[in-house]
Amino acid sequence: MKSSPKVTLAYYNGNVYDMDYVPDPKQRYQFAYYRITDNGFSGYVLDGSRLYKVSKYGNRNGKLVSDPEEKDRVLAEIAALPVIRK
């Protein structure tokens, strides 16, 4: 049985963007990261089951969210919003 593909979402400025337009699944996280920082925002990248916090003032890598309360809050916000596919 083949596993389902990993979903990568960029969440910033009150919107959720699906990164499936990036052809290489291995590059979707990096494109999501750049999409957030290049637009001048801080936000989150949901890469499969991992949630990363991205700061526009931080280093060039997102920080894995380890606080369960923050992770639950952000996942609930993402689930409540429509996903933009572009």
Give per-residue pLDDT as tens, 16-56: 999 999 999 889 999 999 999 999 999 999 999 999 999 88
Per the domain annotation, does 46 fall within a domain? yes
Give the global pTM. Answer: 0.89
| Number of domains composing the chain | 1
Q: Which residue is it, tokens 């639950």? A: 72
Residue 40's domain comprises: 8-84
In a domain, 12, yes or no: yes
Strand order from edge to edge, sheet including 83-84: 63-64, 50-54, 43-47, 8-12, 15-18, 83-84
Question: Does the residue 1 lie in any domain?
Answer: no
Please check whether residue 70 lies inside any domain of the structure: yes
* Position 66 in a domain: yes
Residue 2 forms part of a structural domain: no
User: Mean pLDDT across the stretch 51-62?
Assistant: 81
In a domain? residue 3: no
pLDDT band at residue 3 using 50, 70 and 90 as cut-offs: very low
